[in-house]
Amino acid sequence: MTPLIDPFARAISYLRVSVTDRCDFRCTYCMSEHMTFLPKADLLSLEELDRLCTTFVRLGVQKLRITGGEPLVRKELPEMIARARAKEGVEDVAITTNGLLFARRAKELVEAGLNRVNISLDALTPEVFARITRGGKVERVLEAIEKALELGLHPVKLNAVVIRGMNEEEVVPLAGLSLDRPLHVRFIEYMHLDNSDPEAYRRRFVPGKETRARIEAVYGPLEPVPHDPTSPARVFKIPGAQGTVGFINPVTEPFCTHCSRLRLTSDKKLRPCLLTDLEMDIAWAFAAPEPVEALVDAILIATNRKP
Ligand code: SAM
Ligand code: SF4
C-alpha cells in the first residue's frame, strides 16, 4: 500500500466522487435554470467505480463520499454502495443528497451498506425553500431526515448554504433542529464556483461569523465541541442540545492546512482543490490496459499538485 501524502504532508484520507451531473433540483447558487448534462454513457459505470475503489484501497484511502449533481438520480446507487463496501479496506461510504428521493430509497441504500448521509436543507419555510431550489418541496427533505434518523444512520448532517436576500433569516430555525434530535446542522459559506457576476456574488455572500452571530442572538453563546481536525467544520452546540451546529467557512476561514480530500468530477476529472480551477482528466486511465495501475499513477500526480 502506498499512503497518499501530498507535498505539504497532508494525508489524503477521503475521496469524493460525483456519479452524475444531473439533479432534480436547480438550486440558484449551484445550477442555472436551463442546464445541459453529460450523456449518461459518459458517467462513471459500476465497473469503473469498482476499479476506482480497488485503487483507493491500494492507496490506503478508506472513506468514500458519493455525490453529484444528485446521486439518487442514479438508479444503480445501491449497487455502487454495495460494491464499494464489499472492498476490503473501504471502511466508510457516505452520500450527500438533496433528500428528494431519499426517504423512498433509504432502506435499500442502508441494506447496501451506506454508513452516513449528509442532507442539504437551506430553509424550513416552504416558500423560501422553493425559491432557492426553484420549486423544491421542503416536506420531502424533512421526510428524508426522519427516515435517516429512523434507520439509525449516524451522524446525520444537514448542510445549509447561506445566501443574503434568500435564507439568512432561516439560520435560526435551522440551528434549532439540533436542539432535541441528534442532528448536525452545518452552515456553509456561499462559494463563487462559476466566477460569473462578481458584484452579484459579493451582494449575496454572508460570512460565517454573521450567521453565527444571528444564531447566538437567539440561543446565546454556542459551546465549542471537540471535533475531527481534518473536518472543514468548526463545531459548536447550543447549550443542552442533542445535536451540534457547525460552520464551514471556505471563504473567510479556508481550511487548506487540514485538507484531506480529492474530488472526482462527473466527467472523470480529478480536482485536487475546490477553490482553484486545477483539474486533471483521468477518463483515459479507466480504459487503460492496466486501469488500476494507471489510476494509481493519476491519483498520485493529482495529490502532488494539491495547492
Ligand atoms: N445534490 C446533492 C446536495 O445538494 O446535497 C449533492 C451535490 S451538492 C453540489 C453538494 C453540496 O454542495 C450541497 O450541500 C450544496 O448545498 C453545496 N453547494 C453547491 N453549490 C455551492 C456553492 N456555490 N457554495 C457553497 N456550497 C455549495
Ligand atoms: Fe446543486 Fe445539490 Fe441543489 Fe442539485 S440539489 S442544484 S446538485 S446543490
pLDDT of residue 259: 83
- Is the CB of 96 inside a 6 Å radius of any atom of ligand 1? yes
- Is the CB of 191 inside a 6 Å radius of any atom of ligand 2? no
The whole-angstrom separation of Cα 214 and Cα 191 is 20
Q: How far is the CA of 126 from the centre of ligand 1 (A)?
A: 19
* Mean pLDDT taken over the chain: 94
Sign of the torsion angle spanned by Cα atoms 80, 82, 86, 90? positive
The whole-angstrom separation of Cα 257 and Cα 261 is 11
Alpha-carbon Rg for the chain in angstroms: 19
Mark 80-90 as b/e (b = at least 16 C-beta within 10 Å).
Answer: bbbbbbebeeb
User: Mean pLDDT across the stretch 75-85?
Assistant: 96
- Is the CB of 68 inside a 6 Å radius of any atom of ligand 2? yes
Tell which wins on pLDDT, 2 or 99: 99
pTM score: 0.96
Counting from 1 in the atom list of ligand 1, the atom nearest the Cα of 68 is 7
Closest CA to 71 of 85, 81, 61: 81
- Which distant-in-sequence residues (6+ apart) come within 8 Å of 249 by Cβ? 189, 207, 208, 209, 234
Query: What residue's CA is closest to ligand 2, atom 3?
Result: 27
Of all ligands present, the nearest one to the C-alpha of 119 is 1
pLDDT of residue 217: 98
pLDDT of residue 2: 58
The whole-angstrom separation of Cα 298 and Cα 135 is 40
Q: How far is the CA of 127 from the centre of ligand 2 (A)?
A: 17
The secondary structure of residue 169, as a DSSP letter, is G
Choosing from 37, 66, 161 the residue with most ligand 1 atoms within 8 A of its CB, the one to mutate for a pocket test is 161
DSSP code string of 19-56: --S--S---TTT--SS-----GGGSPPHHHHHHHHHHH
- Is the CB of 31 inside a 6 Å radius of any atom of ligand 2? yes
Of all ligands present, the nearest one to the C-alpha of 69 is 2
Residue with cell 442514479: 74
Within 135-239, residue ranges assigned H as helices are 138-150, 171-176, 198-204, 208-219
Q: Is 227 left (phi over 0), alpha (psi -120 to 50) or beta?
A: beta
CA 262 to the chain's CA centroid:
12
Would the pLDDT of 27 be above 90? yes
- Is the CB of 109 inside a 6 Å radius of any atom of ligand 2? no
- Is the CB of 190 inside a 6 Å radius of any atom of ligand 1? yes
- Is the CB of 27 inside a 6 Å radius of any atom of ligand 2? yes
Of all ligands present, the nearest one to the C-alpha of 159 is 1
User: Mean pLDDT across the stretch 292-298?
Assistant: 94
Are 187 and 162 within 8 A, CB to CB?
Answer: yes
